[in-house]
Amino acid sequence: TGVASPTEASALGAFCAFCLSIWMGKMSMPGLRRALLRAAHGTCMISMILLGAHIFGYFFTLAQVTQTLVAWVGSLEVSRWIILTLILFGYIVLGSFMDQIAILVLTVPIVLPLIKSLGYDPLWFGVIKIVTAEVGMITPPVGLNCYVVARYSGRPVAEVFHGTMPHFFAHLIAIAILVIWPQIILWLPIKMGY
Protein backbone atom coordinates (compact mmCIF):
# COMPACT_ATOMS: atom_id res chain seq x y z
CA THR A 1 0.00 0.00 0.00
CA GLY A 2 2.98 2.31 0.07
CA VAL A 3 3.95 4.70 2.86
CA ALA A 4 0.47 4.78 4.43
CA SER A 5 -2.74 2.79 4.35
CA PRO A 6 -5.75 4.42 2.63
CA THR A 7 -7.20 5.47 6.00
CA GLU A 8 -3.91 6.96 7.15
CA ALA A 9 -3.47 8.70 3.79
CA SER A 10 -6.90 10.35 4.11
CA ALA A 11 -6.03 11.64 7.59
CA LEU A 12 -2.66 12.86 6.32
CA GLY A 13 -4.35 14.61 3.39
CA ALA A 14 -6.83 16.34 5.71
CA PHE A 15 -3.99 17.45 7.98
CA CYS A 16 -1.98 18.79 5.02
CA ALA A 17 -5.03 20.70 3.74
CA PHE A 18 -5.51 22.17 7.22
CA CYS A 19 -1.84 23.24 7.42
CA LEU A 20 -1.96 24.68 3.90
CA SER A 21 -5.07 26.75 4.68
CA ILE A 22 -3.38 28.19 7.79
CA TRP A 23 -0.13 28.87 5.90
CA MET A 24 -1.99 30.65 3.07
CA GLY A 25 -4.00 32.70 5.57
CA LYS A 26 -7.35 31.26 4.50
CA MET A 27 -8.21 29.88 7.96
CA SER A 28 -9.24 32.27 10.72
CA MET A 29 -10.15 31.37 14.29
CA PRO A 30 -13.90 31.82 13.67
CA GLY A 31 -13.55 29.74 10.51
CA LEU A 32 -11.66 27.03 12.39
CA ARG A 33 -14.34 27.02 15.10
CA ARG A 34 -17.11 26.71 12.47
CA ALA A 35 -15.27 23.87 10.70
CA LEU A 36 -14.71 21.97 13.95
CA LEU A 37 -18.37 22.37 14.98
CA ARG A 38 -19.60 21.15 11.58
CA ALA A 39 -17.21 18.19 11.70
CA ALA A 40 -18.34 17.33 15.24
CA HIS A 41 -22.02 17.62 14.25
CA GLY A 42 -21.57 15.37 11.21
CA THR A 43 -19.52 12.85 13.16
CA CYS A 44 -22.12 12.71 15.95
CA MET A 45 -24.96 12.23 13.46
CA ILE A 46 -23.20 9.38 11.66
CA SER A 47 -22.14 7.80 14.97
CA MET A 48 -25.72 7.84 16.26
CA ILE A 49 -26.98 6.19 13.08
CA LEU A 50 -24.28 3.52 13.35
CA LEU A 51 -25.07 3.04 17.05
CA GLY A 52 -28.75 2.58 16.22
CA ALA A 53 -27.84 0.06 13.51
CA HIS A 54 -25.67 -1.88 15.96
CA ILE A 55 -28.43 -1.90 18.59
CA PHE A 56 -30.88 -3.10 15.96
CA GLY A 57 -28.39 -5.78 14.89
CA TYR A 58 -28.02 -6.84 18.52
CA PHE A 59 -31.80 -7.10 18.77
CA PHE A 60 -31.81 -9.26 15.62
CA THR A 61 -29.21 -11.51 17.26
CA LEU A 62 -31.12 -11.86 20.53
CA ALA A 63 -34.45 -12.45 18.80
CA GLN A 64 -32.79 -14.86 16.32
CA VAL A 65 -34.72 -13.18 13.52
CA THR A 66 -32.02 -13.91 10.95
CA GLN A 67 -31.65 -17.58 11.89
CA THR A 68 -35.43 -18.11 11.87
CA LEU A 69 -35.84 -16.36 8.53
CA VAL A 70 -33.08 -18.33 6.80
CA ALA A 71 -34.33 -21.64 8.25
CA TRP A 72 -37.82 -20.87 6.98
CA VAL A 73 -36.54 -19.96 3.50
CA GLY A 74 -34.50 -23.17 3.36
CA SER A 75 -37.56 -25.30 4.17
CA LEU A 76 -39.63 -23.96 1.28
CA GLU A 77 -40.48 -26.41 -1.50
CA VAL A 78 -39.69 -24.00 -4.33
CA SER A 79 -37.04 -23.42 -6.97
CA ARG A 80 -33.54 -22.51 -5.82
CA TRP A 81 -33.85 -19.28 -7.81
CA ILE A 82 -36.86 -18.20 -5.76
CA ILE A 83 -34.96 -18.96 -2.56
CA LEU A 84 -31.99 -16.92 -3.84
CA THR A 85 -34.35 -14.04 -4.70
CA LEU A 86 -35.84 -14.14 -1.19
CA ILE A 87 -32.36 -14.14 0.38
CA LEU A 88 -31.24 -11.20 -1.77
CA PHE A 89 -34.43 -9.30 -0.94
CA GLY A 90 -33.72 -9.97 2.73
CA TYR A 91 -30.22 -8.53 2.30
CA ILE A 92 -31.66 -5.35 0.80
CA VAL A 93 -34.03 -5.02 3.77
CA LEU A 94 -31.24 -5.74 6.27
CA GLY A 95 -28.93 -3.32 4.46
CA SER A 96 -31.44 -0.52 4.97
CA PHE A 97 -31.29 -1.01 8.76
CA MET A 98 -27.82 -2.38 9.48
CA ASP A 99 -24.23 -1.82 8.44
CA GLN A 100 -22.25 -4.34 6.35
CA ILE A 101 -20.22 -5.82 9.21
CA ALA A 102 -23.32 -6.55 11.29
CA ILE A 103 -25.00 -8.19 8.30
CA LEU A 104 -21.93 -10.32 7.59
CA VAL A 105 -21.55 -11.45 11.19
CA LEU A 106 -25.24 -12.24 11.60
CA THR A 107 -26.12 -13.92 8.33
CA VAL A 108 -23.13 -15.43 6.55
CA PRO A 109 -22.60 -18.34 8.99
CA ILE A 110 -26.24 -19.32 8.44
CA VAL A 111 -26.80 -18.40 4.80
CA LEU A 112 -23.54 -19.78 3.36
CA PRO A 113 -24.34 -23.46 4.09
CA LEU A 114 -27.79 -22.91 2.56
CA ILE A 115 -26.24 -21.34 -0.56
CA LYS A 116 -23.77 -24.22 -0.90
CA SER A 117 -26.57 -26.77 -0.49
CA LEU A 118 -28.49 -25.05 -3.29
CA GLY A 119 -25.48 -25.50 -5.59
CA TYR A 120 -24.33 -21.89 -5.83
CA ASP A 121 -20.66 -20.89 -5.78
CA PRO A 122 -19.74 -19.26 -2.43
CA LEU A 123 -17.41 -16.69 -4.02
CA TRP A 124 -20.10 -15.69 -6.49
CA PHE A 125 -22.62 -15.38 -3.68
CA GLY A 126 -20.20 -13.29 -1.60
CA VAL A 127 -19.92 -10.68 -4.35
CA ILE A 128 -23.70 -10.71 -4.91
CA LYS A 129 -24.27 -10.34 -1.16
CA ILE A 130 -21.98 -7.32 -0.86
CA VAL A 131 -23.58 -5.56 -3.84
CA THR A 132 -27.08 -6.35 -2.58
CA ALA A 133 -26.41 -5.13 0.96
CA GLU A 134 -24.85 -1.96 -0.48
CA VAL A 135 -28.15 -1.32 -2.27
CA GLY A 136 -29.70 -1.42 1.17
CA MET A 137 -27.37 1.39 2.26
CA ILE A 138 -29.34 3.77 -0.01
CA THR A 139 -32.77 2.33 0.84
CA PRO A 140 -35.13 4.13 3.25
CA PRO A 141 -35.70 4.38 6.19
CA VAL A 142 -32.13 4.19 7.52
CA GLY A 143 -29.95 4.18 4.36
CA LEU A 144 -26.78 5.48 6.05
CA ASN A 145 -25.15 6.68 2.82
CA CYS A 146 -28.13 8.97 2.11
CA TYR A 147 -27.90 10.55 5.56
CA VAL A 148 -24.20 11.26 5.04
CA VAL A 149 -24.90 12.88 1.65
CA ALA A 150 -27.81 14.88 3.08
CA ARG A 151 -25.67 16.16 5.93
CA TYR A 152 -22.79 17.36 3.80
CA SER A 153 -24.80 18.60 0.82
CA GLY A 154 -27.28 20.53 2.94
CA ARG A 155 -30.21 18.86 1.16
CA PRO A 156 -33.25 17.31 2.84
CA VAL A 157 -32.97 13.57 3.44
CA ALA A 158 -36.17 12.89 1.46
CA GLU A 159 -34.67 14.66 -1.56
CA VAL A 160 -31.49 12.60 -1.30
CA PHE A 161 -33.47 9.35 -1.06
CA HIS A 162 -35.50 10.42 -4.10
CA GLY A 163 -32.30 11.27 -5.97
CA THR A 164 -30.82 7.81 -5.34
CA MET A 165 -33.75 5.97 -6.95
CA PRO A 166 -32.17 5.81 -10.44
CA HIS A 167 -29.00 4.45 -8.81
CA PHE A 168 -31.12 1.97 -6.81
CA PHE A 169 -32.80 0.60 -9.95
CA ALA A 170 -29.50 0.50 -11.87
CA HIS A 171 -28.04 -1.58 -9.03
CA LEU A 172 -31.00 -3.97 -9.18
CA ILE A 173 -30.38 -4.44 -12.92
CA ALA A 174 -26.67 -5.02 -12.22
CA ILE A 175 -27.54 -7.64 -9.59
CA ALA A 176 -29.87 -9.38 -12.05
CA ILE A 177 -27.07 -9.45 -14.65
CA LEU A 178 -24.61 -10.87 -12.10
CA VAL A 179 -27.12 -13.55 -11.07
CA ILE A 180 -27.94 -14.54 -14.65
CA TRP A 181 -24.30 -14.57 -15.80
CA PRO A 182 -22.12 -15.67 -12.87
CA GLN A 183 -19.12 -15.85 -15.23
CA ILE A 184 -18.86 -12.05 -14.92
CA ILE A 185 -17.86 -12.53 -11.28
CA LEU A 186 -16.02 -15.84 -11.59
CA TRP A 187 -13.99 -15.21 -14.76
CA LEU A 188 -10.99 -13.58 -13.07
CA PRO A 189 -10.85 -15.91 -10.03
CA ILE A 190 -11.00 -18.92 -12.37
CA LYS A 191 -8.15 -17.45 -14.47
CA MET A 192 -6.17 -17.07 -11.23
CA GLY A 193 -6.68 -20.73 -10.32
CA TYR A 194 -9.80 -20.61 -8.10
pLDDT tens-digit map of 117-138 = 888 999 999 999 888 888 888 8
Is 3 part of a structural domain of the chain? no
Is 25 part of a structural domain of the chain? no
Instruction: Say how far apart CA 127 and CA 91 lie, in whole Å.
Output: 12
In Å, the largest CA–CA distance within the chain is: 70
Instruction: Say how far apart CA 94 and CA 143 lie, in whole Å.
Output: 10
Is 171 part of a structural domain of the chain? yes
Q: How many domains does the chain have?
A: 1
Is 29 part of a structural domain of the chain? no
Calculate the average pLDDT of the chain: 84
Instruction: Say how far apart CA 166 and CA 173 lie, in whole Å.
Output: 11
Q: pLDDT for 50-85, tens place per residue?
A: 787 778 778 877 888 767 777 777 777 888 898 889
Residues 92-105, mean pLDDT to the nearest whole number: 77
Q: pLDDT value at position 123? A: 92
Binned at pLDDT 50, 70 and 90, residue 1 comes out as: low
Q: Are 114 and 73 in contact (CB under 8 A)?
A: yes
In this structure, what are the phi and psi dihedrals at residue 79, rounded to the nearest 5 degrees? -60, 150
- What percent of the chain is modeled with pLDDT above 70? 98
CA 151, 146, 160, 157 torsion: positive or negative? negative
Torsion over CA of 22, 25, 29 and 34, rounded to 10 degrees?
-80
- What percent of the chain is modeled with pLDDT above 90? 20
At position 72, the amino acid (one-letter code) is W
Q: Which domain holds residue 135?
A: 49-191
At position 59, the amino acid (one-letter code) is F
Residue 173 pLDDT more than 90? yes
Is 15 part of a structural domain of the chain? no
- From residue 83, how far is each of 56, 78, 110, 129, 168 by CA, in Å? 25, 7, 14, 14, 22
Instruction: Say how far apart CA 171 and CA 105 lie, in whole Å.
Output: 23
Q: pLDDT value at position 130? A: 86
Residues 15-32, mean pLDDT to the nearest whole number: 88
Instruction: Say how far apart CA 98 and CA 12 lie, in whole Å.
Output: 30
- pTM > 0.75: yes or no: no
Residues 85-113, mean pLDDT to the nearest whole number: 79
Q: pLDDT for 150-159, tens place per residue?
A: 888 888 988 9
Is 182 part of a structural domain of the chain? yes
Is 7 part of a structural domain of the chain? no
Q: Are 49 and 142 in contact (CB under 8 A)?
A: yes
Is 17 part of a structural domain of the chain? no
